[in-house]
Structure 1
Amino acid sequence: MQAIETARSEQMADLLVSLALADGSASHRYCSSEALTSGREAVRNLADAAHYLCVLHGRFPGVIDHALNRTSHPAAQGWLSAAAEAFAAERSLLTRLAVATGPLPSTPGQAECEAAVLQQRHALEMLAQSDRAGCALGAAIALALDWRAIRAVLDAAARRVSIEPQACVLPDEEETRTVAMTVADTPSFERAMSFGAQQLLNQHRGLWDLLEAREAARTRL
């Protein structure tokens, strides 16, 4: 029985990591595109990304902070506390970049874009404050796993404005896998974690879709 429980827990950890790789920012063509980080329009594109990522994740409390308050599983408390502290530095970087990269580039449909990102932020807030045990934690884990790809974009933006960002100290994949394996003790908790992770990744992909569409709209001007 113990071997079965261990195998199931390992599968849960594998699932969360696989979701981040397959459905997260790293697999989105625009997030890793040359047009975003080093193309002719990179300055405007990076400013766009910095501003909208700041709208999504630049406010306190954020996804991880809410999850810390919503998650009672003792095995997750240490991970969430460390992740919340680390993300405070990421939030500070987002704010600095939103200021340093200048105003949002003029883009058709600006009001609609603003409304869409505000809706995404609201969706993340609701997800991170869900009463369904495991949902908020799954979202927080997905954010930590997906942030590595997002941070690469932020680092590119920082280089453009001569900011030297400190290293990201969010819990690494191994630490995150360990926590996921430890807390995945019931099928219902696992399902909630998977749902929370998938929904957060969907919001991130939606943001990259929006940023890609905005870049295309600017090139048509």
Structure 2
Amino acid sequence: MRSDSVEQRLARGDTAAGQVVSRVAGIEGSTGNRHLARLLRPTVPLRDLGDLVHALCAVHGKRPDMIEDAMATSVDPIEREWLGRAAGGFADERHYLARLVSAAGPLPSTPGQAECESAFVGLRHAFGMLARSGRSGCAMGAIEALVMEWHVVRPLLDRSADRFHVAGAACTMPDSFADIVATPSMERAMAFGAQQLLVQHRGLWDLLESRAAARDASA
């Protein structure tokens, strides 16, 4: 448990942790991503939405997920309370994803499928490494970035539910950050964790965009 209060740490110049991740996500996050914008179009092929939900399920839909991994090593009670709420919300999202994958049917046939499966495994491994990082602040930065990203991605799940005739579900993921304060060293670690999470997500969107282009070319 930290000995200083939040007010004391803010007074000496430490940073509200949510500000760190918000700054990083505002610059490097998925908002405005070209492929995500395409997937939100009413005329996007169903196979591309199917590819999306299968990919998200492959990298985020298995247990233990990132948030559960981070909870296993967190000792700060404020962090753990927030992570517990995030874990509960993400469990609901996993169930939602599972229903969407079931409705979408088999993964759409795409050239280079074996390489893509390896890429999904690599992404999941990278997410797990971030969540289990022993560097103070790294895991929290990554998890808070994941929560921010999920609110960007969530409209795609609802669009998929509508197209696949699946009942929608309310999102119960937190819409604010844990009430913690980052020292300079923790701030750097949080920024690193957030940046690495966002790098991996950009890789996922690039992969899905390439898969969609490959399917279009072979049609």
TM-score by length of 2: 0.90
1:191 Cα deviation after fit: 1.3
Partner of 1:106: 109
Partner of 1:141: 144
Cα distance in 1 for residues equivalent to 2:180 and 2:9:
14
- Identity value in percent: 47
Partner of 2:181: 183
Instruction: Work out whether 1:18 is the aligned partner of 2:23.
Output: yes
Cα distance in 2 for residues equivalent to 1:42 and 1:156:
12
1:4 Cα deviation after fit: 6.1
Instruction: Please give the secondary structure, in 1, of the residue aligned with 2:15.
Output: helix
8 A Cα contact 1:139 1:197, kept in partner: yes
Structure 1, unpaired ranges of 5+? none
Residues 112, 209 of structure 1: alpha-carbon distance in 2 compared, 3 angstrom cutoff: same
8 A Cα contact 2:20 2:187, kept in partner: no
Instruction: Work out whether 1:67 is the aligned partner of 2:70.
Output: yes
Instruction: Please give the secondary structure, in 2, of the residue aligned with 1:31.
Output: helix
5 Å matches for 1:200-215? 200-215=197-212
Q: Deviations over 1:7-56 (max 9, x none)?
A: 5414x4323113223222223111122xx233544201000000000001
Instruction: Please give the secondary structure, in 2, of the residue aligned with 1:30.
Output: helix
Cα distance in 2 for residues equivalent to 1:151 and 1:89:
12
1:167 Cα deviation after fit: 1.1
TM-score by length of 1: 0.89
1:3 Cα deviation after fit: 8.4
Cα distance in 2 for residues equivalent to 1:40 and 1:118:
30
Cα distance in 2 for residues equivalent to 1:3 and 1:53:
38
Taking only aligned residues, the RMSD between alpha carbons, in angstroms, comes to 1.9
